Structure 1
Amino acid sequence: MTGLTTIPVDKETRDRLKTFGLKGETYDDIINRMMEQIEYEKFMERLYRRLEEKDKFIPLAEV
């Protein structure tokens, strides 16, 4: 890590964040992993929306 900063959060928030961590992960690792997952989910949502707009996507429930 190059530059570190302090982000104030409630102890409850810190404790919740800790539950998402894997052994050996820093808070920075946990937050970055969560952000990557969110970015992936947003990408997939855009992809599905595009497919729906082109009428090429059929939800599994409709198959």
Structure 2
Amino acid sequence: MVSITVKPETRDSLKAIGNKGDTYNDIVDMLLRYYCIQKLNKKVEDILENEEFVPLDWEKV
């Protein structure tokens, strides 16, 4: 286990994000998952906007 120091305002923000019974670890894990999903969504949006796709002919596969 590792301890980290945060400002009281940050602690209060974490509490506001979490649900009753959540640990700080639960909240940080949730925020990290959300961040990773948003980052992946951004990559997908960039690909869809900037790349050319060739449709697959599923009947020949």
TM-score, with length taken from structure 2: 0.78
2:40 is equivalent to residue 43 of structure 1: yes
Structure showing greater radius of gyration is 2
Identity %: 34
Q: How does 1:1-63 map to 2 (within 5 A)?
A: 4-54=1-51
Question: Which 5+ residue runs of structure 1 have no aligned equivalent?
Answer: 57-63
Question: Which 5+ residue runs of structure 2 have no aligned equivalent?
Answer: 54-61
Name the Cα RMSD after superposition. Answer: 1.4
Higher relative contact order (Cα pairs below 8 Å, separated by 6+ residues): 2
**Pairwise CA distance, 1:55:** 5.5
Runs of 4+ in 1 over 4 A off after TM superposition: none
